[in-house]
Chain A
Amino acid sequence: MQDAIVATDRKRTAMREFTPWLIALGGFSFLPFILGPYWLNSAITGLFYVMMASSWNLLAGFTGQVSFAHAAFAGIGCYTTGILSAKLGLHPLVGLPIGVALSALLSLGLGALCIRMGGIYLSLTTLGFSEIVRIIIQNEYEITRGTMGLKVPFIIGPYSKTTAFYIMLVVAAAMVWTVYRIINSDMGLRFRAVLNDETAAQALGVPVMRVRVTAFVISGAMAGLAGSLYGHYLLLITPHIPSLDMMFHVLAMAVIGGLGTLAGPIVGAFLLEVLSEFVRQFSDKYHVLVFACVALVFARFAPQGVVGLVASWWRQATGKEGAQ
Chain B
Amino acid sequence: MSSTVLIFLVLYFAVVLGIGFWAMRRGAGGDLESFLLGGRRIGPLVTALTLQSTSMSGFMFLGAGALGYVEGYWGLWYAAGDIGGGVVNMSVIGRRMRKLSELTGSLTPIEYLEKRYPSPAIRLIAGGLTVFMLGSYVLAQFIAGGKGMALVTGLPYSVALLLAVGIILLYTYLGGYLAVAYTDFFQSLVMVIGVLWILTAALVEVGGLGAANRAIAELEPSLLSIWGRDLGYQGQWGVALGAVLIFSVGYMGWPHVVTRHMAMSRPTTARKAGAYATFWNLLFVPAPYIVGILAVLILPELADPEMAIFAVAQKLLPAAVTGVVMAAIMAAIMSTADSLLLQTGSIAARDLYERFFDPNASQKRMVLVSRLMVLAIGVVGYLVALIQPPTVFQVVIFVTSVLGSAFFPAYVCAVWWRRANTPGALASIIAGASVSFVWQLIGLESASGLHPMVAGLTASISSMIVVSLATQKRSPVPQRIRDLMTEAARLGPAAEPS
- Report whether chain A binds chain B: no
